[in-house]
């Protein structure tokens, strides 16, 4: 640990190291664990199979968000059969309800007024606080970094690790700082700021880094706007994004139900004020952005880096100098059905989606409603366009209704829905049909993201509202609504109202789940070994191969880890309209027997944290992936499943892809860290010593960490003494149950 000047990230990291391994990896204590229904069932089954408990129910909070219908809910029932019609979605919700009961966790169920997208409810309740470490089996956990927290997404195996040990093994990332200085032009919002940043640094620009956002523009943002910026850090490839806490942060948190109160509040705030990067702190990478360069932005392609100002045109891939990028752009334009040179404002839309963990907060809804009002009292959603507004949480919905925003939307022809992830991912009924084009406030424009064959343009809530009225992508600045003096400013949710609400927990009342625990135990998965692998390699040439491409969302609705091979690269293998087979490389001999993938494109496995992507590759028979770089969560997910991700130079990947094209069998020797390829000279690679040891010897991470249980317990004692407000926030075994959900959490630690 260095004693020189430190960044905010260095400080939070140092404060959370339980112990350091010989390999250099740190065991990091987790202060807050958020859980949702998609990435957790296999983790709980793993705990059950190994006879383990949840170490800190008081620091764990669960909700349902991805699968939930957003059509009006029958308020009179807690029976999941009446609330979630789709059997697979219901099975995941039911599994979570059973798990929170079995393991004594606090839970905001479907009929709870606090239910919502996991990244909206954490901050809303004050569960998210400055200075903490926060994880969730979800890539957009980076959102919580807006509070000056170290928050990042993890895979399901890591969720199991955190549930069992309240820690996670991590390698420290590099420090990156992005300064945004100057004054934003009128009509430019935080979504434009982050889209512009990703356009500048690219979807892999933050690989291996934690980004701190700073500068006058960031300082002047509200908490909600800061959350939108940090939320999309993952779209820039970074591990996490963060913003130093300040008066704006403290004002947002004060009196939130789970935030510290009274004297503890004062003590917490004085600690939080120390959470800034020291003046001379060293950043490995620094990027400076001028606010005046940022114009309201939209995406044109299928990567969040494909950004242009709304006043711009669809770019011509022929002008791209990097051949991989050119290829990706050509593919994107074909998928998006766009012609180079088309002015963005001439692109017609079929759907509009306002919501998601990026832009489903009250301020986002106000901003969209302002545009609708600005368009005049007779403004309507353009004919033929379906526009929906989906609040990020049930409390956001109630607040918006109290302010009359729902009436503004409804009157103009928008659908006003219940809270959930909705058309951001389309795991419920809210899906974009093949060939349809959507103006969306979400964060991912990946192929098939909102529905197979659907086309997504990312933008701010103001721009999405403008698109709904105009029927095409539109510059929201032409709609700008200036509240007149007589307009009542839209009220904040009174804190007392949030605190005093009587909440219903359905966890106690649902019918018992029919979900059976998986037969595959974690130790089974982890007891596999990787030493030498020989076989066919399949070449792939796509940059930013995201995990939605590897395994689309319809395959996430499982509660087990197996049987996913049929979904692997589904949209590459099957035509979205006709379902006809597309002759994808993995369906052609000899590649239908491939055990290795060689990707020449960087950032393989970026995007969502779904471990299902790794499970589907494994299920197909893939044991090793070679690429110039990887999405970090995906890399960890591979390692957790005894698959070897190997990072090589772009040139080496091209060389190996040529071998793969020629049908040369590759031999990967992990002990020697070497790839042999017929007569040609072998290629060396390096791996982290701890991870190599795990793969070679097949040992179980959780059992290994539990050997450090004394160090974990000692850390917890120090934590209680130093930051007492972190214990007991979500109920459970520690200092009380603030959430108001009966907990059966055990008082003692059992190992």
Tokens of 575: 């035509």
532-535 and 666-669 beta bridge pairing: antiparallel
349 vs 424, beta carbon nearer ligand SF4: 424
- Tell me the CB-side half-sphere exposure of residue 311, using CA atoms within 13 A: 7
- Per CB under 6 A, does 139 bind ligand IPM? yes
The span from the first CA to the last CA of the chain, in angstroms, equals 30
How many binding residues for ligand IPM (CB under 6 A)?
13
Q: Candidates 54, 62, 154, 421: give the one binding ligand SF4 (CB under 6 A).
A: 421
Closer CB to ligand SF4, 104 or 605, in the complex: 605
Give the residue with the Cβ less far from ligand SF4, 379 or 421.
421
User: Using CB under 6 A as the criterion, what x/- string covers residues 419-438 for binding ligand IPM?
Assistant: ------x-------------
Compare residues 300 and 446 and give the one whose CB is closer to ligand SF4: 446
Structure tokens at 38: 């998609």
Cα 228 to Cα 395: distance, rounded to the nearest angstrom:
18
Return the beta strands (E) in 93-187 as ranges: 106-108, 133-136, 150-153, 167-170, 174-181
Q: How many CB atoms lie within 10 A of CB 278?
A: 13
Query: Measured from the CB atom, is 379 or 424 closer to ligand IPM?
Result: 424
| 89 sits near ligand IPM (criterion: CB under 6 A) | no
Binder of ligand SF4 out of 11, 55, 66, 239 (CB under 6 A)? 66
What secondary structure does DSSP assign to 203-257, as a single string?
TTTTTTEEEEEESHHHHTS-HHHHHHHHHGGGGGT-SEEE----HHHHHHHTT-T
Q: Which stretch binds ligand IPM (CB under 6 A): 6-14, 123-131, 218-226, 604-612?
A: 604-612
- By CB under 6 A, is residue 635 in contact with ligand IPM? no
How many angstroms separate the Cα of 366 from the Cα of each of 202, 224, 406, 459?
Answer: 30, 12, 10, 15
Binding residue for ligand SF4, selected from 100, 184, 314, 424, defined by CB under 6 A: 424
The reply to whether 609 sits near ligand IPM by the rule CB under 6 A is yes
Nearest residue relative to ligand IPM (C-beta):
608
Least Cβ distance, residue 203 to ligand SF4 (angstroms): 15
**Residues in contact with 637: Cβ distance below 8 Å, sequence separation at least 6, in sequence order:** 155, 156, 157, 605, 609, 611, 613, 614
| Total Cβ atoms within 10 A of residue 687 | 17
Q: How many CB atoms lie within 10 A of CB 534?
A: 12
CA distance 727 to 479: 48
Residue 134: CB minimum distance to ligand SF4, A: 14
Among 138, 192, 324, 618, binds ligand SF4 (CB under 6 A): 138
- Residue 39 interacts with, from ligand IPM, ligand SF4, none (CB under 5-8 Å by kind): ligand IPM
Q: What, of ligand SF4, ligand IPM, none, does residue 546 touch, CB below 5 to 8 Å by kind?
A: none
Beta pairing, strands 596-599 & 240-242: unpaired
**Are 58 and 727 within 8 A, CB to CB?**
yes
Report the nearest approach of ligand IPM to the CB of residue 5 (Å). Answer: 34
3-state secondary structure of 522: helix
Selected range binding ligand IPM among 89-97, 133-141, 396-404, 455-463, rule: CB under 6 A: 133-141
3-class secondary structure, 617: helix
List the structure tokens of 682.
């072998």
Is the Cβ of residue 126 or residue 153 nearer to ligand SF4 in the bound state? 153
Cβ closer to ligand IPM: 140 or 477?
A: 140
187 binds, among ligand IPM, ligand SF4, none (CB under 5 to 8 A by kind): none
Count how many Cα atoms sit within 13 Å of the Cα of residue 470 in the half-sphere of its side chain: 23
Which of 7, 394, 526, 608 forms a contact with ligand IPM (CB under 6 A)? 608
Fill in the DSSP letter of residue 554: G
Preceding amide of 638 cis, omega within 30: no
Task: Give min distance, CB of 548 to ligand IPM, in A.
Answer: 7
- Which among ligand IPM, ligand SF4, none contacts residue 38 (Cβ within 5 to 8 A by kind)? ligand IPM
HSE-up of residue 299 (Cα within 13 Å, Cβ side)? 38
Q: Tell me how far, at minimum, the Cβ of 418 lies from ligand IPM, in Å.
A: 18
Which residues, 26 to 65, sit near ligand IPM by CB under 6 A?
Answer: 38-39
**Residues 92-111 interacting with ligand IPM (rule: CB under 6 A):** none
Minimum CB distance to ligand SF4, residue 585 (Å): 29
Tell me the closest approach of the beta carbon of residue 207 to ligand IPM, in angstroms. 17
The DSSP string of 33-44 is EEE-TTTSHHHH
Considering only residues 238 to 297 of the shown chain, the ones binding ligand SF4 according to CB under 6 A are: none
Residue placing its CB nearer to ligand IPM in the complex, 238 or 609: 609
Measured from the CB of residue 239, what is the shortest distance to ligand SF4 in angstroms?
17
Q: Which stretch binds ligand SF4 (CB under 6 A): 2-10, 121-129, 302-310, 417-425?
A: 417-425
- To the nearest 10°, report the CA torsion of 331, 336, 340, 342: -170
Rounded to whole angstroms, the Cα distance separating 239 from 609 reads: 11
Relative to beta strand 532-535, strand 106-108 is: unpaired
Taking CB under 6 A as the criterion, the residue among 30, 34, 59, 117 binding ligand SF4 is 117
Contact between 443 and ligand SF4 per CB under 6 A: yes
Handedness of CA 548, 550, 556, 561 (dihedral sign): negative
Q: Which stretch binds ligand IPM (CB under 6 A): 131-139, 214-222, 272-280, 377-385?
A: 131-139
Residue labelled with tokens 């934003």: 184
Task: Give the residue, chosen from 97, 124, 138, 350, that forms a contact with ligand IPM under the rule CB under 6 A.
Answer: 138
The minimum distance between CB 227 and ligand SF4, in angstroms, equals: 11
Nearer to ligand SF4, 40 or 167 (CB): 40
- Smallest distance from the beta carbon of 556 to ligand IPM, in angstroms? 6
Q: Which of 556, 585, 606, 627 binds ligand IPM (CB under 6 A)?
A: 556
For CA atoms 643, 648, 654, 659, the dihedral sign is negative
- Kindly list the residues in this chain that would bind ligand IPM in the complex (CB under 6 A): 38-39, 66, 137-140, 153, 425, 556, 608-610
- Kindly list the residues in this chain that would bind ligand SF4 in the complex (CB under 6 A): 65-66, 117, 138, 140, 356-357, 421, 424-425, 442-443
């Amino acid at each position: 640990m260095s004693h020189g000047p430190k960044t905010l990230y260095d400080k939070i990291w140092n404060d959370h190291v339980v112990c350091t391994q010989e390999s250099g990896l740190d065991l990091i204590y987790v202060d807050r664990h958020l859980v949702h229904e998609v990435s957790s069932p296999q983790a709980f089954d793993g705990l059950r199979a190994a006879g383990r408990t949840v170490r800190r129910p008081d620091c764990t909070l669960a909700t349902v968000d991805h699968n939930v219908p957003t059509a009006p809910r029958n308020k009179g029932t807690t029976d999941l059969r009446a609330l979630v019609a789709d059997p697979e979605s219901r099975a995941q919700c039911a599994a979570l309800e059973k798990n929170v009961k079995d393991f004594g966790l606090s839970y905001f169920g479907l009929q709870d007024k606090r239910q919502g997208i996991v990244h909206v409810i954490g901050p809303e309740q004050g569960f998210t606080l400055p200075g903490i470490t926060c994880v969730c089996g979800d890539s957009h956990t980076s959102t919580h970094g807006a509070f000056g927290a170290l928050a990042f997404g993890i895979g399901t195996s890591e969720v199991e690790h955190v549930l069992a040990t309240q820690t996670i093994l991590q390698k420290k990332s590099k420090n990156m700082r992005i300064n945004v200085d100057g004054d934003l032009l009128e009509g430019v919002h935080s979504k434009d700021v982050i889209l512009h940043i990703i356009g500048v640094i690219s979807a892999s620009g933050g690989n291996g880094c934690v980004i701190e956002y700073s500068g006058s523009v960031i300082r002047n943002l509200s908490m909600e706007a800061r959350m939108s910026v940090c939320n999309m850090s993952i779209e820039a490839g970074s591990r996490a994004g963060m913003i130093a806490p300040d008066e704006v942060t403290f004002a947002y948190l004060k009196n939130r139900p789970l935030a510290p109160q009274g004297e503890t509040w004062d003590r917490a705030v004085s600690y939080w004020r120390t959470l800034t990067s020291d003046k001379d702190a060293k950043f490995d990478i620094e990027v400076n952005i001028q606010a005046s360069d940022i114009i309201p932005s939209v995406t044109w392609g299928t990567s969040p880096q494909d950004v242009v100002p709304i006043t711009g045109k669809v770019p011509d891939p022929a002008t791209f100098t990097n051949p991989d990028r050119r290829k990706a752009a050509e593919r994107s334009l074909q998928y998006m059905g766009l012609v180079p040179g088309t002015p963005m404002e001439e692109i017609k839309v079929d759907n509009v989606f306002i919501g998601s963990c990026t832009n489903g907060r009250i301020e986002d809804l106000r901003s969209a409603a302002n545009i609708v009002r600005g368009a005049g009292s007779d403004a309507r959603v353009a004919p033929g366009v379906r526009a929906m507004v989906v609040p990020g949480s049930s409390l956001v919905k109630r607040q918006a209704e109290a302010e009359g925003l729902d009436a503004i939307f409804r009157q103009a022809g928008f659908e006003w829905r219940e809270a959930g992830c909705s058309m951001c991912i389309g795991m419920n009924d809210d899906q974009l049909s093949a060939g349809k084009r959507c103006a969306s406030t979400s964060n991912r424009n990946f192929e098939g993201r909102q529905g197979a064959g659907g086309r997504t343009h990312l933008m701010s809530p103001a721009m999405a509202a403008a698109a709904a009225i105009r029927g095409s992508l539109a510059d929201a600045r032409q709609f700008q609504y200036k509240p007149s003096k007589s307009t009542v400013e839209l009220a904040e949710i009174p804190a007392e109202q949030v605190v005093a609400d009587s909440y219903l927990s359905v966890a106690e009342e649902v019918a018992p789940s029919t979900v059976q625990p998986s037969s595959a135990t974690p130790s089974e998965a982890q007891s596999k070994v990787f030493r030498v692998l020989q076989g066919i390699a399949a070449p792939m040439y796509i940059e930013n191969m995201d995990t939605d491409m590897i395994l689309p969302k319809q395959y996430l609705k499982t509660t087990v880890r197996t049987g996913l091979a049929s979904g692997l690269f589904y949209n590459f293998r099957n035509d979205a309209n006709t379902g006809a087979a597309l002759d994808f490389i993995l369906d052609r001999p000899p590649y239908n027997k491939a055990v290795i993938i060689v990707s020449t494109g960087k950032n393989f496995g970026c995007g969502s944290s779904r471990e299902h992507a790794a499970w589907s590759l494994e299920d197909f028979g893939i044991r090793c992936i070679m690429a110039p770089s990887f999405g970090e969560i995906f890399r960890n997910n591979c390692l957790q499943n005894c698959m070897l991700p190997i990072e090589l130079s772009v040139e080496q990947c091209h060389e190996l892809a040529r071998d793969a094209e020629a049908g040369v069998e590759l031999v990967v020797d992990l002990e020697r860290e070497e790839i042999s390829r017929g007569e040609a000279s072998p290629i060396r690679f390096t791996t982290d010593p701890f991870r190599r040891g795990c793969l070679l010897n097949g040992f179980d991470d959780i059992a290994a960490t539990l050997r450090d249980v004394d160090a974990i317990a000692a850390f917890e004692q120090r934590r209680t003494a130093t930051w007492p407000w972190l214990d007991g926030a979500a109920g459970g075994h520690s200092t009380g149950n603030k959430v108001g959900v009966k907990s059966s959490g055990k008082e003692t630690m059992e190992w």
